[in-house]
Amino acid sequence: MMYYIYGSWLLILSIISFTFALKFLLLDMVVFIEYEIMSLLSMNIEMSILLDWMSLLFMSFVMFISSMIIFYCNEYMEFDKFNTRFVNLVMLFVLSMILLIISPNLISILLGWDGLGLVSYCLVIYYQNFKSYNAGMITVLSNRIGDVGILLSIGLMVQYGSWNFFYYFMFNKNLMMGLLIIVAAMTKSAQIPFSAWLPEAMAAPTPVSSLVHSSTLVTAGVFLLIRFSEGINSDLFYFLLLISLITMFMAGLSANFENDLKKIIALSTLSQLGLMMSILALGSKELAFFHLLSHAMFKALLFMCAGVMIHLNMDFQDIRFMGSLVKMNPLLISYFILSNLALCGIPFLSGFYSKDLISEIFSMKLGGIFIYVIFYLSIGLTVIYTLRLVYFVLINESVFLVNNMFNDSKYIVMMKSMLGMILMVVLMGSLLSWIYFWVPYFIYLSFIMKLMTFTMILLGMLLGFLIFMLKNFYKYTVNLMVIVFLGKLENLLYLSLSFNWFMNKSSKNIFLKMEQGWLEYLGSQGLFMSFSWFSIKLQSLIKENLKNLLMICVLMIILLIVF
Distance between CA atoms of residues 185 and 194, nearest Å? 10
Residue by residue, pLDDT tens for the chain (563 residues) are 677 788 888 888 888 888 888 888 888 888 888 888 787 777 777 788 888 888 888 888 888 988 888 888 887 777 777 778 888 888 888 888 888 888 888 888 888 888 888 888 888 888 888 888 888 888 888 888 888 888 888 888 777 777 776 666 655 667 788 888 888 888 888 888 788 788 888 888 888 888 887 778 888 888 888 888 777 777 788 888 888 888 888 888 888 878 888 888 888 888 888 888 888 888 788 888 888 888 888 888 888 888 888 877 777 777 877 777 777 778 888 888 888 888 888 888 888 888 888 888 877 776 677 787 788 888 888 888 888 888 888 776 655 554 444 444 467 777 788 888 888 888 888 888 787 665 566 777 777 777 777 777 777 777 777 766 665 444 444 444 444 455 454 455 566 666 666 666 777 777 666 666 666 666 667 777 777 777 777 676 666 566 666 777 788 888 888 87
3-state SS track over 493-531? HHHHHHHHHHHHHHHHHHHHHHHHHHHHHHCHHHHHHHH
Per-residue pLDDT, 473: 44
Per-residue pLDDT, 482: 46
CB atoms within 10 A of CB 536: 10
Distance between CA atoms of residues 108 and 331, nearest Å? 43
Instruction: Please report the sign of the dihedral spanned by the C-alpha atoms of residue 477, residue 478, residue 482, residue 483.
Output: positive
Per-residue pLDDT, 481: 43
Per-residue pLDDT, 357: 83
Distance between CA atoms of residues 534 and 524, nearest Å? 15
Whether the bond between 193 and the residue before it is cis, its omega within 30 degrees of 0, is yes
Per-residue pLDDT, 497: 62
Distance of CA 414 to CAs 11, 69, 303, Å? 16, 9, 12
Helix, coil or strand: residue 78 = coil
CA-based nearest residue to 141, from 211, 196, 207: 196
Task: Please say whether the beta carbons of 398 and 321 come within 8 A.
Answer: yes
Task: Please say whether the beta carbons of 190 and 198 come within 8 A.
Answer: yes
Task: Please say whether the beta carbons of 244 and 277 come within 8 A.
Answer: yes
H helices present in 313-349, as ranges: 325-328, 330-344
Helix, coil or strand: residue 471 = helix
